Amino acid sequence: MYTKACKSKRTTAWRSMMISMLFVFIAMLCKEQGITATAVCVLYEIFVVQKVKTLDILLAIKSAFGGNKINPTWSGEGTKRLAALTLVTFSLLILRLHVMGSRLPVFTRFDNPASVASTPTRQLTYNYLAAVNLRLLFLPSDLCCDWTMGTIPLIENILDVRNLWTLVAHSLIFGLLSTAVFTRNRQVSVIIIMSLALLILPFLPASNLFFPVGFVIAERVLYAPSMGFCMLVGHGWSILAEKRCPKISTIFLVLLLLSHSVKTFARNYDWIDEYAIFMSGLKVNLHNAKLFNNVGHALEGQGRYKEALDYFNEAVLVQGDDIGAHINVGRTYNHLKMFKEAEDAYLRAKSLLPKAKPGESYQARIAPSHLNVFVNLANLIAKNGSRLEEADLLYRQAISMRADYTQAYINRGDVLIKMNRTKEAQEVYERALFYDSNNPDIYYNGTSLHGPASFSNPLGLC
């Protein structure tokens, strides 16, 4: 739609322009990196529509710093389109920040270990991750559904041999940029620039360059960059086919199509069900506790608790400080009626929770799923009538860490009823209604205290 909007340097099809920006907005709603399409449009406007040479831009910048007058080579309509692109981009960014509550999402160190590492470990690892992503485009052999946690060990010093791959990747990109700038063939320059635009720009939000992201590597962020990569491969193949060795290039093309077709066919079987996809991930990586946990969840869903327990225990061995893994172990022991072992596992998970610091909110520092350890442990303890006070304390701890944790309110109300503290139970249920007025369990538990007519509703909820 943008190419339709700027077929002419002198006129603009504003209807097509507006539709293209609408598509950018829809893309951003689907995935944040969709907004990078406007940056690709900017480069398309400059290098394809206005036919500006890259070397001319460098000379213009040099002249500007030298105090010389610069005569722009593009049209006034081009300036208007660039201004519209800039305005739309900033407007969408502001809208996105508003939707997010003007703050970035909070991730744990398990999601992206490099994000909490010190200098230079963080920088070396981030640059290496870019090289790994580029390698996945070249050779997508070891695909994995989850790359978080310990999948890729941190690069802690400059002597790590993996830094060589980082240098190779950066050299390739720099070499292509140099070719685009200094080549006299304008068509080649435009092809390389637009290919790199599609390759690099959509990847930037996932590169940790502007803000840390919640993953180490995510293959889904390579969908858009793969378009630029394919353009580069196609351009390289056309050079081989037309000028160098057409027969060999044809053989290479056939081998490429066959190998990727076979890989796609085989990969489809990995996605048959949850168990298959997570097991395929373990074939690639045995250092990711999340994969062991997910295999355990798949087995747990099938009622195969003993097998699930083996994978959960393996997750604990791989990542001993993974709170979720200990919770999974405790829950599985509970299913197997091994209550003492379940309590020990929950207590271990609880001991791993970060301690509160003055002036900091628990809600921002603890993943909501980790708070389940309080409810699970309290539910287990509440089975013993002599430990109800202990269970109540755990529910109160969970609520103090996250005020809108309604499940803790519901379970605490049940325990208070068992202790004949019905008035407190009613207050707890009413407090839960403040956060979740559509939860039928709260209404049922509250009305069962003294019958439907006696349950007060001070909040006017219905």
Position of tokens 């963080």? 122
Average pLDDT over the chain reads 87
What pLDDT score does 432 carry?
87
Return d(Cα 447, Cα 412) in angstroms, integer. Answer: 16
What is the mean predicted confidence (pLDDT) over 250-263?
Answer: 94
Alpha-carbon Rg of the chain, whole angstroms?
A: 29
The answer on pLDDT for 209 being more than 80 is: yes
Closest CA to 149 of 196, 198, 114, 101: 114
453 vs 105 pLDDT, higher one: 105
Q: What is the DSSP letter of 6?
A: T
Amino acid at position 45, single letter? E
Q: Are 286 and 318 in contact (CB under 8 A)?
A: yes
Max Cα-Cα span within the chain: 89
What pLDDT score does 442 carry?
78
Q: Are 10 and 60 in contact (CB under 8 A)?
A: no
What pLDDT score does 293 carry?
95
Share of the chain above pLDDT 70, in %: 90
Residue 153's contacts (CB-CB under 8 Å, 6 or more residues apart) are 287
Return d(Cα 90, Cα 38) in angstroms, integer. Answer: 10
Position of tokens 């060795």? 245
Per-residue pLDDT tens over the stretch 353-405: 877 665 555 544 567 788 889 999 999 999 998 999 999 999 999 898 888 88
Q: Indicate the pLDDT class of residue 226, thresholds 50, 70 and 90.
A: very high
The answer on pLDDT for 449 being more than 80 is: no
71 vs 202 pLDDT, higher one: 202
386 is written with which tokens? 């002599």
What pLDDT score does 188 carry?
92
102 vs 51 pLDDT, higher one: 51
Q: Are 166 and 128 in contact (CB under 8 A)?
A: yes
Least confident of 215-219, 241-245, 312-316: 241-245
Distance set, CA 417 to CA 382, 403, 433, 435 (Å) = 12, 21, 17, 21
Distance set, CA 195 to CA 31, 43, 47, 204, 248 (Å) = 21, 11, 12, 15, 24
Q: 301 φ, ψ to 5°?
A: -65, -25
Return d(Cα 424, Cα 388) in angstroms, integer. Answer: 14
